[in-house]
Structure formats: C-alpha cells, structure tokens
Structure 1
Amino acid sequence: MFERFTKGARGVVTGAVGHSERTGADTVTDEHLLLALLDQRGTRASFALAALGVTGRRESLERAFAEARRRGGLTKADADALAGIGIDVGEIVSKVEEAHGEGVMRVGRGPKRWWSGHRGFAPTAKATLEKSLRIAIGRGDRHIGDEHLLLALTARPGLVAEVLADHGATYATVERAMFGGLSEAS
C-alpha cells in the first residue's frame, strides 16, 4: 500500500514516526499522524486545516490529547457515557493519581526497546492508513495523498476525530475545504 502514497503522504507517515520517537510513545498513533499533518506545508490537507482554523490551534489540540492520555485514552464521549451511569472519570483519575502518582494512567507512558530499529503502528493508526486507501479508491484516485489521511482521521471514530470535530474539522467540513463540496464517497 505504501507504494501508492504520494510524497506528501509519505512525509506524514515518516513525520508521525518522528513525533512518536520524540515523545517516547510505544507506537505510532493517530495523534502522531495528525501532528505530522499539521507540520506539512503547501499540501491539500494543510490548506484545509488552515482554512478551518485548525493549524493555528495546535496547542489546543495538544492539550486535548494530553488530557485524554491522562484519562487513560478515553474520549470525552466515553467519559460522558460513563457519567451517564454514575461513573465520574475525573474523580477516578484524581483518586488513582493521589494514590499512585500524577500521570499514572497516561497511555503510552514508557518507551520500549526497539530491537528491530522500527517503531510499530498502533492498531488504530493501521486502521486509519487502511481507511485512507478506501477513501482514495472511493474517490477514484490512484494515489493516497495527505488529503486521504486527513479524511480518514475524521472518518474513524475515536479521540483524534473527536478533538478535530471540537475544533471545527469534521469529515464534511474537511472534504468541503479540500474539494469544494460533498462527494458520493461520503
């Protein structure tokens, strides 16, 4: 599949690996893919992110990801669902941190030894890469570009899609910003 990636999409994947390494994460995640997309300049996805005002709000995105990692990776929707049955995630996190130390529930805490020299991709990141292929095929494109990666991040449920939506970047708004309207693929 990687041979179908454009130069920009390959740059996003290698950038995501770099973000993962710098943060000491166990694997490359969707969060790293998004951060690498935000690093890109002059691409269709970078223009869409800028048009939607996401590029200028990187710190807000990173704070949202940090808070979710502190909650053990739970999205706000997950926390709200648990609150609906009487479970206060914030209170649980506070009590666990009080007993065991701050950040103890944080996801991806410790670096692993990389005997092969390659950093693995989390199952969610692999699924996003596969989704980008499906989106490209659905659009009739013969390549996978950074625009397909961005659409895949907004199309798959999870933390990154939720944070992007909170910042005004849903599948529909991203597609509209990149292609000027909704397509049959959506």
Structure 2
Amino acid sequence: MFERFTKEARAAVAGAVTFSQCAGEDSITEEHLLLSLLDQDAGRAASALTALGVTDRRASLEAALDEARRRGGLTKADTEALAGLGIDVGEIVARVEEEHGEGALAEDGRGRRRRSGRRPLTAGAKGVLEGSLRIAVGRGDRFIGGEHLLLALVVRPGVVADVLADHGASYADVERALHGAGREDGGEARAAAAG
C-alpha cells in the first residue's frame, strides 16, 4: 500500500513516527498521524486544515487530545453513554489519579520495550491507513495523499474524529474544504472508509 502514497502522505507517516518517538511511546497512533498532518506546510490536507482554522486552534486541539488520553481514550459518546448509566467518568478519573497519579489511565505505551527498531501502528492507525486507501479507491484516485489520510481520520469513530469535529473539522467540513460546496458523494466515501 505504501507504494501508492504520495510524498505528502509519506511525510505524514514519517512525521507520525517522529511524534511517537518524541512522546516516548512504542507505537504510532491516530493522534500521531493527525499531529503530523498539522505540521505540514503544503498539500491538500494542510490547506484544508488551515482553511478550517484547525491549525490556528492547535493548542486547544492538543489539550482536548490530552484530556481524552487522561480519560483512558474514552470518546465523547462513551462518556455520555456511561453518564446515562449514572457513571461519572470525571469522578472515576479523579479517584484513579488521586490513588495512582495524574495520567494513570492514559494509554501511552510507556514502559514497554520494543524488540525491533520499528514502531508498530496501533489498530486505530492501521484502520486510518486502510481507510485512506478505501477513500482513494472509492474516488477513483490512483494515489493516496494527505487529504485521504485526513478524511480517514475524520470518518473513523474515535477520539481523534471527536476532537476534530469539536474544532470545526467534521467529515462534511473537511469534504467542503477539500472539494468545495458542490461536491457531495452522498456518504459513499464515508461508508467505504468506515469499512
């Protein structure tokens, strides 16, 4: 699949590896892919993120990702569903952190040793790469670009998609930024990427 990646998409994956290394984590996550796309200065994904104002709200976006990590990676929907059952995730996080220290629920991969020099992709990050391929194929594109990675990030249910949507980059917003108001695919690419 990587042979189909454009220079922009390859740079995004390489940047995700760097973010993983800098964070001291043993694997590459969806969050690392997003942060790498945010660092890009050129390309369709960078243009869309800039047009949507996401790059201007990067500090807020990173804070929201950190908060989700503190909750053990629970999405907004997970938190709301548990609240509907009378479970206060905020209180549980506070109690766990009181007993075990701040960030005790964070899934950061620290403390595990890698046997090889390569960092594996988490299941979520693999899903994003696979989704980007499905989006590209569904649109009739021969190559996978940063825009396909970005669309796969916003379509894949989870914390990254939630945080992006909260920062003005839902699937529909990204579609409009990439393709203009005239292009609507009726959700076919979204369905294909969700797998």
Relative to the length of structure 2, the TM-score reads 0.92
Residues 109/103 of structure 1: CA separation in 2 closer, same or farther (3 Å cut): farther
What letter corresponds to residue 53 of structure 2 in structure 1?
A: G
Aligned pairs for 1:1-186 (under 5 A) are: 1-181=1-181, 182-184=183-185, 185-186=188-189
Q: Give the number of equivalent residue pairs.
A: 186
C-alpha distance after superposition, 1:67-89 (max 9, x if no partner): 11111111122111100110000
Cα distance in 2 for partners of 1:109, 1:117 equals 15
Cα distance in 1 for partners of 2:105, 2:170 equals 28
Cα distance in 1 for partners of 2:109, 2:127 equals 22
Displacement of 1:112 after TM fit?
A: 2.9
Cα distance in 2 for partners of 1:60, 1:25 equals 22
3-state DSSP of counterpart to 1:105: coil
C-alpha distance after superposition, 1:114-164 (max 9, x if no partner): 321000000000011000000000111000000000000011100000000
Residues 116/58 of structure 1: CA separation in 2 closer, same or farther (3 Å cut): same
**Runs of 5+ in structure 2 lacking a partner?**
190-195
Cα distance in 2 for partners of 1:144, 1:101 equals 42
Relative to the length of structure 1, the TM-score reads 0.96
3-state DSSP of counterpart to 1:37: helix
Displacement of 1:109 after TM fit?
A: 4.7
Cα distance in 1 for partners of 2:41, 2:111 equals 30
C-alpha distance after superposition, 1:42-67 (max 9, x if no partner): 11110100000001111111100111
Cα distance in 2 for partners of 1:112, 1:44 equals 36
Cα distance in 1 for partners of 2:180, 2:76 equals 30
3-state DSSP of counterpart to 1:176: helix
What letter corresponds to residue 61 of structure 1 in structure 2?
A: L
Displacement of 1:111 after TM fit?
A: 4.2
Residues 111/39 of structure 1: CA separation in 2 closer, same or farther (3 Å cut): farther
Cα distance in 1 for partners of 2:97, 2:111 equals 21
C-alpha distance after superposition, 1:3-38 (max 9, x if no partner): 000000000000001001100123101000000000
Taking only the aligned residue pairs, the percentage that are identical comes to 63
What letter corresponds to residue 100 of structure 2 in structure 1?
A: H
What letter corresponds to residue 32 of structure 2 in structure 1?
A: H
Residue number in structure 1 paired with 2:192 = none
Residues 111/10 of structure 1: CA separation in 2 closer, same or farther (3 Å cut): farther
Which stretch of the first structure deviates more once superposed, 72-81 or 134-143?
Answer: 72-81
Residues 111/2 of structure 1: CA separation in 2 closer, same or farther (3 Å cut): farther
